[in-house]
Amino acid sequence: MFATSRPMLQQRLAVSTPSRNMHQRAISFATIPRMMARAFKLPMYGAAIGAGGAGYAHYKLEGVRTATGEMIDGVTDTLSSAYNTTSQTLASTLATATQLSNALGQRVSDGISGTAADVKDGVDAFGSGAKQWWTLVKQQLPEWSAKAEEPTASNNGGGGSRDEKWRPGEGPGEPTPPPPGGEVLVGLVGAGAMMEKDDRGELPKEEHQLLQLTRKLIEIRSVLLSVDQSDALKLPSIVVIGSQSSGKSSVLEAIVGHEFLPKGDNMVTRRPIELTLIHTPSNAASSSTTPAEYGVFPNLPGLGKISSFSTIQKTLTDLNLAVPPEMAVSDDPIHLQIHSPHVPDLTLIDLPGYIQISSMDQPEQLKDKINSLCDKYIREPNIILAVCAADVDLANSPALRASRRVDPLGTRTIGVITKMDLVKPENGVQILRGERYPLHLGYVGVVCKAPAAGVSGLLRNIRGGEANNVTNAVIRREEEFFGGENARLFSNKGRAVGEKRLLVGTDTLRRRLMDVLETSMSGSLNGITNAVQLELEEASYQFKVQYNDRRITAESYVAEAVDALKSKFKEYTTHFSKPAVRSKLKDMLDNRLMDILEQLYWNDPRTAELSKLAEDRKLAPEELDSYWKYKLETASSMLTKSGVGRDSTNLVADGLRGLIDNIAQAEPFTFHPDATTRIVDFSHAILRERMGMTADQVENCIKPYKYEVEVDDREWALGRERAEEKFGEEMGRAELKLGEIRKRVGGGRKLGSLIRHVEELERWEDETRRRRVSNLGRVVPEGDEADETHVDTPLDAYKYSPAQVIDGRHALLLSNRLTLLRLRQNALKSKRCRMGPDQSAFCPEAFLAVVADKLAYTSTMFINIELLEQFFYQFPREIDSRILYDLDRSEIAKFARENPKIRKHLDLQDRKDKLEQVMRSLQGLVNLQKEAQPAQSRREAGLFTKFF
């Protein structure tokens, strides 16, 4: 912008209003005296400063560049026109200079007055723009000075001129007395004030870029920590070490601006605190949902955003005190993020302080544990922030001893000297020089103590107010201590070239930490980029081989699992169709029918008589003995009044419970015990809600069968066939058991012999029982007892063992049961039972089978209406409402990761995605680094090599 060629200047001169007439003059360059340059120098500086400030206030950064370029072009055009004119005398030239000075002064005055309000409202922005403008001007202005002050043959002896140069960061040199017009002086004072403020606290554009770069690197570091904990994928952090009384907590709280670290009489910090400071823009930090300053514990998402730093302090205290006293310290870190517009982007790790001797209530190995924990964190590539108190000899500082052990050259160690106000200023200067224990990154002196009440100064007035936090209070205290009378010792102004600068103040420490962290991180870019590239290639290969690049999400897995559950449930509902339920109920009632028959008929010795009566064709049903009619009514009443409604409902409900249990405990729900429990609980709740109502409905509907049962011929035929079938099943089970006993005894012959022995034994027992009953009250003559025992004892009483006798008794019972079942089966097949339902007294088995079938049919109909249909309707909807829609995002992620296969898939996919994200960010930073390297030839330090 400033490298405009002379023809271009002359072309612009043709349209410039103040110098259009002067272009016609022909004054040669050789006739201009040296005083001409001096006459134009100060107005030019003042005009440039005023125009630069006003332009920035109105047009911000781009505006200031445009306005400043136009102003400097105008001034340059005017100078060129004045130097090229040769038709006027020296007096005319001086008059022209005076006129030009007045015009420039008027322009500066108008600019200053027009932007006074803007400068007052936006001092910070004005100062940043002014400093950037100085940087631009100082690169071009020496070329104009050299042209203006070029010696000629006519003025070699006309006095000398001072060699005035711009001092970077300090504004212009001492100018010559200004011409008439106080506006120029006001512009210089304003710019100097802005530059002074910028040196104290504000970040210029390059450092704003540095801040953004550091934030990107910190974000990359956080992602890498979530991907892998190995040292190969780690970017450096700042590790804070020091003894318990060195002021370590005060330094961190001064950087953050609030008291938030645990406090206590005894050792409170028992776990590493990995602190991530995130700078948020002040204009976007506060909103209706997000506070201006807040803290977040990433590993405790339930706490959310904590805006109260006292709550953060209490939470940190509780997390530290959770470490058991016998452990004293733990290497499990506490992660804390602090978002604030008043903090820089930094990653700090606060460790427990070094101790010399363990107290009585602390374990003896506490000192060694703390040393081991600190040694773990201060390894490369981390930066060490060694905090030492000024009133303690550095030779006794455990922090410096530990840092020199792992960093003997001090290339990654920053010394922080606290409590500078407790020693003489001369001694403090000697400590900060670091001549005894030199560190490549130097020492920074701080006074982390709040200032006295009522203290104010020019800095606070210029800032126009400040936040009520620890940082501002500490800065005021440090201004009092390092300024005033001590400024001659701690100020860097006037120091000889090559003399080491002293770093003092918390604000300096903050920026120093930002610069060092950014430099260290950027130095690791190439290595970490290569490591991430290798990890990404490996992850991509594994993802391709194992999953064919198929991507899934936790939400999709939950949806698939729910769909699979519904599909299985729908498939299993076919097992509860009406025919299936009726068959189950018939089996239940048939078993109950067989028990009733055994109780009333098979154990009755007169049952054989009923079979003989049925063979008598002349005997009518109404002529049958009332004994058998009463037995039939009793059997029917026992069957219908046995709680069919309750038992049938429970039978179906138990089947539904088994169905749900089978579904919930099958894959993939075998990996989700909580979801399984939830499914079982709400399904059982649905059943409990419907079971009572269903049982009552079934009982009410079968109540008529308790008093009268109407049977037609078709039902009678079906009942008789079913009775024959059940008799055949009963006979088959009896024969199977009898076969097992036959095999166990040793064959049919031995079983027959055993059964005969058991029959004789039973007859002997019956005879003995009768004799004893008949002999009650009668005196037995002496000698008859022996004869009685001898007569009653079987001859082969000791032939079989007691176990064989028991098997023989069972075989005898089964044989009698088979004989009776064959007898009743023949009765069912007889012509009497084929005649129809009128013969029910002769064929009770067929009649009870018909009753059981009617009860099963009626129960099935109402169970299906009141229980099954309602359950089949509600269960899928409860799955959606209680599992699919009731889970939040964290519960969905937890649900998916409970399955080992899905967890492995998600972990590999997440690792690949994060590595790709990191790789894109790293590649962008590497490209930025390459672009910044050519600019290093024009300045001393580039964006990435600012301090090394």
- Indicate whether 35 pLDDT > 90: no
Chain centroid, CA 843 distance in Å: 75
In which band, very low, low, confident or very high, does the pLDDT at 134 lie, cut at 50, 70 and 90?
very low
pLDDT of residue 350: 93
Direct distance between the N- and C-terminal alpha carbons of the chain, in angstroms, rounded to an integer: 31
d(CA 846, CA 709): 13
Over its C-alpha atoms, the chain yields an Rg (Å, rounded) of 52
Helix residue ranges, H only, 149-204? 183-200
Cis check: omega of the bond before 438, within 30 degrees of 0: no
d(CA 632, CA 66): 116
**Residue whose entry in the numeric block shows the structure tokens 């391709």:** 544
- Phi then psi for residue 347, to 5 deg, are -120, 115
pLDDT of residue 716: 92
pLDDT of residue 669: 87
pLDDT of residue 475: 86
d(CA 848, CA 719): 8
pLDDT of residue 126: 47
Write the DSSP symbol of residue 302: G
pLDDT of residue 474: 86
Condensed to tens digits (0 to 9), the pLDDT of residues 873-891 reads: 999 998 888 887 878 888 8
pLDDT of residue 546: 93
Residues 134, 136, 139, 144, CA torsion sign: negative
- The rounded percent of the chain whose pLDDT value lies above 90 is 22
In this prediction, residues 538-555 reach a mean pLDDT of: 92
Q: Residue 175, Cβ neighbours under 10 Å: how many?
A: 15
CB 363 within 8 A of CB 398: no
d(CA 744, CA 18): 133
**CA distances (Å), origin 609, targets 318, 510, 636:** 89, 113, 21
Query: Nearest Cα to 418, choosing from 239, 252, 238, 200?
Result: 252
pLDDT of residue 15: 39
**Is residue 279 classed as helix, strand or coil in its secondary structure?**
strand
d(CA 321, CA 318): 5
Strand partners, 214: none
Q: Strands 503-504, 443-445: parallel, antiparallel or unpaired by DSSP?
A: parallel
pLDDT of residue 200: 37
Q: H-helix or E-strand containing 503?
A: strand 503-504
d(CA 65, CA 51): 10
Condensed to tens digits (0 to 9), the pLDDT of residues 413-440 reads: 999 999 998 999 888 888 898 888 889 8
Take residue 930 and report the two structure tokens written for it: 């390459």
In this prediction, residues 845-872 reach a mean pLDDT of: 92
- The one-letter code for the residue type at 591 is N
pLDDT of residue 415: 93
Rounded-to-5 percentages of helix, strand, coil across the chain: 65, 5, 30
- Indicate whether 175 pLDDT > 50: no
In which band, very low, low, confident or very high, does the pLDDT at 777 lie, cut at 50, 70 and 90?
low
In this prediction, residues 831-857 reach a mean pLDDT of: 90
Q: 162-166, 215-219, 602-606, 799-803 — which is least confidently predicted?
A: 162-166
**CA distances (Å), origin 603, targets 600, 736, 815:** 7, 21, 14
d(CA 926, CA 922): 6
CB 450 within 8 A of CB 473: yes
- Phi then psi for residue 284, to 5 deg, are -125, 10
d(CA 408, CA 413): 10
Take residue 34 and report the two structure tokens written for it: 């040296």
**Is residue 500 classed as helix, strand or coil in its secondary structure?**
coil
- Rounded (10°) angle between helices 578-597 and 644-664: 130
Write the DSSP symbol of residue 177: P
In this prediction, residues 150-176 reach a mean pLDDT of: 36
d(CA 98, CA 560): 87
In this prediction, residues 129-142 reach a mean pLDDT of: 47
Write the DSSP symbol of residue 841: T
- Indicate whether 187 pLDDT > 70: no
Rounded to the nearest 10°, the torsion over CA 15, 16, 19, 20 is 20
pLDDT of residue 12: 41
pLDDT of residue 531: 85
Q: Residue 821, Cβ neighbours under 10 Å: how many?
A: 18
pLDDT of residue 48: 47
CB 74 within 8 A of CB 55: no
pLDDT of residue 437: 86
CB 238 within 8 A of CB 518: no
pTM of the predicted protein model: 0.56
pLDDT of residue 862: 92
- Phi then psi for residue 257, to 5 deg, are 100, 5
- The one-letter code for the residue type at 500 is K
d(CA 120, CA 461): 11
For 95, half-sphere exposure in the C-beta direction (CA atoms, 13 angstrom radius) is: 6
**CA distances (Å), origin 874, targets 482, 561, 611:** 77, 18, 54
In this prediction, residues 393-401 reach a mean pLDDT of: 88
CB 73 within 8 A of CB 4: yes
For 505, half-sphere exposure in the C-beta direction (CA atoms, 13 angstrom radius) is: 23
- Indicate whether 388 pLDDT > 90: yes
In this prediction, residues 376-382 reach a mean pLDDT of: 89
Q: Residue 247, Cβ neighbours under 10 Å: how many?
A: 24
Residues 564, 565, 567, 572, CA torsion sign: positive
Q: 183-197, 278-292, 296-310, 719-733 — which is least confidently predicted?
A: 183-197
- Rounded (10°) angle between helices 578-597 and 713-745: 70
d(CA 158, CA 138): 27
- Indicate whether 180 pLDDT > 50: no
Which regions of 412-545 does DSSP assign to beta strands (E)?
Answer: 413-418, 443-445, 503-504
In the chain, count of helices (H) and strands (E)?
Answer: 32, 10
Query: Nearest Cα to 922, choosing from 205, 221, 211?
Result: 221
Condensed to tens digits (0 to 9), the pLDDT of residues 239-283 reads: 999 988 888 888 999 999 898 998 876 678 889 999 999 888 776
Take residue 189 and report the two structure tokens written for it: 């004072």
Q: 19-23, 487-491, 561-565, 895-899 — which is least confidently predicted?
A: 19-23
Calculate ∠ Cα 497-499-500, nearest 5°: 135
d(CA 694, CA 861): 11
CB 252 within 8 A of CB 348: yes
CB 21 within 8 A of CB 100: no
Query: Nearest Cα to 345, choosing from 404, 279, 280?
Result: 279
Residues 71, 76, 79, 81, CA torsion sign: negative
d(CA 688, CA 654): 11
**Is residue 301 classed as helix, strand or coil in its secondary structure?**
helix
- Indicate whether 900 pLDDT > 70: yes
d(CA 656, CA 683): 9
